[in-house]
Amino acid sequence: MHTSTGRSSTPRVAARDLTAPWHHVDGVLAAVVGVILVMGSVMVYGATRYTEAKTGLVVRHVGFIVVGVALGVFVATVDYRRLLAWWPFLYGGSVLLLLGVLTPLGATVNGTSGWYRLGPLSFQPAELAKLATIISVAAFLGAADRVDWQRLAVALGLLAVPLGLVLAQPDLGSALVFAAIALGMLVVGGVRLRHLVALGVLAVAGVALVVGSGMLDDYQQDRLSNFLSTDGQSYNVTQAQTAISSGGLTGYGFGEGPQTRGGFVPVQESDFIFTVVGEEFGFIGSGLLVALLGVLIWRIWRVAQIAADSAGTLICVGVLSMFLFHIFENIGMTLGMMPVTGIPLPFVSYGGSSIVASCVAVGLVESVHMHRFTR
């Protein structure tokens, strides 16, 4: 004879907290970034396997990926609203770092005084400043229901300071990235059309002034003049076009590209990494990489649409604008459609500052996605 105790014999199962951030990781975004990082590592190895520094560069590249992924995961776990609250410190620190490279503390690489040397490693603060500026502008514009002239002026100031300091290095490519970030965030941030038109006119006038003032180094002016000239492209672009066009539909196969084997394409592991894909894997390989980058952009845009607040949306739009310009400019300059500015291809090109900053940027987007149900 059994006595009823009033308790169910069914084991009790703990309720699942559906608001927990880790239940809302964008797995597609994380996976596509992982695939692109692997492809990038293979491409960097392919571009450097016939050079003296092949082992060192690939090991460093993988090391940068490990550091970048670790930092990106950490940032994803932090509620982005906490980062927004710290924006004055993030912004001020990035500006100080940009000022520092213009002093004897900075190092000059390829005519640009935009680096810090840390033993065998180099650090480019402009990459960090892009993220700090995105967070700062998102915090400022996201705190208001509408953008009037006064708030627009402050937002433009936040964008103009790092842009001006980067241009003073001079780093035309990074300055253009800041301009792209500004455009994307101001459009989504609610700036009126007439204000955008006025800003566009001022931007064109500013570019003309910079080009005509002699602020740019000779090699940068040559890149612009070669792009605008109908007499032919520069050596770099000519070699890049030769490598890509010779790849045909399926390419020569990994390690078999004649331009890559011969080292004819300058800085192929970074600025012109797309030529390795085109020459050795052909149109199919290039199309696959572009498609993966397209998925990356789509997932970031999706997170922007479902963000919990306007600040989260603006963070995603800033990151999206940064990546989109990097992709368009890097592949475009490789094909001769855009001027050569030295902008890396996200997650693919060799470069520690770019890899780490790109991973942290994805971590910011994941934070917006993961914390959209928390308050």
Q: How far apart are CA 322 and CA 106, in angstroms?
A: 25
What residues make up the domain containing 170?
A: 34-370
Residue 357, CB-side half-sphere exposure with 13 Å CA sphere: 26
Residue 21, in any domain of the structure: no
Phi, psi of 238 (to 5 degrees): -60, -45
Residue 22, in any domain of the structure: no
Q: Domain count of the chain?
A: 1
- Mean pLDDT computed over 15-30: 73
Residue 57, in any domain of the structure: yes
On whether the CB atoms of residues 217 and 225 are closer than 8 A, the answer is no
Q: How far apart are CA 266 and CA 219, in angstroms?
A: 15
Residue 26, in any domain of the structure: no
- Residue that is written with structure tokens 């797995």 in the block: 27
Report the Cα 6 to chain-centroid distance in Å.
61
Residue 10, in any domain of the structure: no
Residue 162, in any domain of the structure: yes
Residue 353, in any domain of the structure: yes
Q: What is the pTM of this model?
A: 0.86
Residue-wise pLDDT for 242-299, tens only, equals 899 988 998 898 888 888 888 888 888 888 999 999 999 999 999 999 999 999 999 9
Residue-wise pLDDT for 105-164, tens only, equals 888 877 778 888 887 778 899 999 999 999 999 998 887 767 677 888 888 899 999 999
Residue 7, in any domain of the structure: no
Query: Counting Cβ atoms within 10 Å, is residue 172 exposed (0-12), middle (13-18) or buried (19+)?
Result: buried
What the block records as the tokens of 188 is 């989504």
Confidence (pLDDT) at 2: 45
Peptide bond into 170 cis (omega under 30): yes
